[in-house]
Structure 1
Amino acid sequence: MPARHDLDSERELWNTYAESTRKDVFESDPGFRWTQYAGHGPGPELLGSPESVLEVGCGTGRALAYLAQQGVKATGVDMSPVMVANTTERWGPLGVRFVCADVLSHLAESTETYDAVYSMFGAVWFTDPARLLPLVADRLNPGGVLVFSHPPAIPGAYGPQGMYKGGFAGKAMYTYRYSYTPRKWKGLLLKAGFREAEVYELAAPTRGHIGTLIGRAVVD
């Protein structure tokens, strides 16, 4: 397992991502989807009917804003102060609370619990699941759910995968993403303390495009 990067370097990486985010993302209405494709796949029903949610690696916060409009107590954690400043300004008036923190530290130090925790191409993809998943399970209320989505693993390339972000947009910075088969993800979830788990790959709406891996797990 790779050593975890210096948090300052990780923060720089996600600040760069935040600074490159198109301004029209914050000008659009709240929206909620698990996949890369508009109008495709399941919606917030995968969360059940939560009164409170936490999004880990919340990025632009549009999904949290959508849930807040439905009366859900919505909290997001992201380690980029640039992104958190932008999301707080845009979605804070809707009642969404944004926390600027490393997700592992936040989950370990917080005593707050939630009916649902979720990640859309967020922290579940970029954080060691052996460390993250047990912390998430501890922060869920009885019967609470974790739901996450991200691209499926490249066949034959499983486990922590080194990758560069930045590329043509600026300095390339190194990080890891964690890619596993659905079967492996299910095993990781059950080992972390969830009593049941389902992980599957949803095909893309257009042939030849990349599908989406979706996982859902429930605690006792």
Structure 2
Amino acid sequence: MTTALAWDTYSQQRPSRRPVNARGEATWFNWTQHQDHGPGDELLHLSADGRVLDIGCGKGGNAAHLAAAGARTVGVDISPAQLAAARERWGHLPQLALHQADALDYLADDCGVFDAIYSVFGVAWFTDPARLLPAVRARLAPGGMFAFSHRPPVEGCYGCQASYIPRGADEDPLVVRRWDYTPQTWVEKLEAAGFSEVSAQVLAAPEGNRRVGTLLVTGHA
């Protein structure tokens, strides 16, 4: 499958999460692409034993943090390479279950109900929201939280865009699709899908950092 190959290739290009963060913690939650920056797992409003789903969990760092804190955590990713790295580092956590699957297929299966579903630079960026938002909404408990983050759009470049994942010097890059919208458009899309208390904002990059910020969207079922 081309999509799995693309994310396997991406996995090889990305370093593993650091052993500890700036505070000396072995696990932590990070919504942004910048180290030690931005809010944490408090955005999910999870109870001590809440059930949570990470769609596009990658190498599992965020999911591992929630599992280590006691949440019943499920991570789903289409990439065997990403999941192999996640299992090698975090597979000892009893509260963490990892599954290789397309996120839409997993949500359509009998996966139960979750108190929170989230995506950090993952499935919510790379799946048509017309299909994903109703699927997520159907799997959330009443009042449950959906939250996702990714890079904000380039001005004027909205809707389905192409992301290129480089390969070897003599190989064409692999292409995956992503969906970019303004914060206001995301609010409208989530509200149209039945979410309430929707918020969308761009978190500025850390002071002195010239890179772009992070788009963060939340909504309740």
Specify the code of the residue in structure 2 equivalent to 1:25: R
Secondary structure at 1:188 match in 2: helix
Partner of 2:13: 20
Cα deviation, 1:107-138, whole Å, max 9, x if unaligned, reads: 11234111000011010011111100110000
Q: How far 1:75 sits from its partner (Å)?
A: 0.6
RMSD: 1.7
The CA distance in 1 between the partners of 2:18 and 2:85, in whole Å, is 8
Inter-CA distance 77–196: structure 2 relative to 1 (3 Å threshold): same
Determine whether 1:188 maps to 2:189: yes
Equivalent position amino acid for 2:203 in 1: L
SS in 2 for 1:123: coil
> What is the CA–CA distance in structure 2 between the aligned matches of 1:174 and 1:168, rounded to whole Å?
14
8 A Cα contact 1:26 1:60, kept in partner: no
Name whichever structure is richer in helix by fraction: 1
Matched, 1:89 2:93: no
After superposition, where does 1:166-205 map in structure 2 within 5 Å?
166-167=166-167, 171-205=172-206
Work out the percentage of aligned pairs sharing the same amino acid: 42
Tell whether the 8 Å contact from 2:77 to 2:100 is kept in structure 1 after alignment: yes
Number of aligned residue pairs: 211
Unaligned regions of 5+ residues in structure 1, if any? Answer: 1-7
| C-alpha contact 2:196 2:219 (8 A) present in aligned 1 | yes
CA distance in 2, matches of 1:32, 1:145: 16
The residue number in structure 2 matching 1:72 is 71
Match of 1:214 in 2: 216
1:99 partner amino acid: H
Q: Which residue is equivalent to 2:110? A: 110
Counterpart check, 1:43 vs 2:40: yes
Q: Could you say which residue in structure 1 is the equivalent of 2:23?
A: none
Compare 28-37 and 47-56 and name the one that shifted more: 28-37
Once the two structures are TM-superposed, the CA of residue 216 in structure 1 deviates from its matched residue by: 0.4
- Which blocks of at least 5 consecutive residues in structure 2 are unaligned? 21-25
1:52, CA displacement in angstroms?
Answer: 1.1
Shift of 1:27: 5.1
How far is the alpha carbon of 1:163 from its aligned partner?
2.2
Q: Hey, what's the Cα distance between the residues in 2 that align with 1:134 and 1:140?
A: 10
Shift of residue 102 of structure 1? Answer: 0.5
- Name the structure 2 match of 1:10: 3
Distance 1:111 1:120 in 2: 20
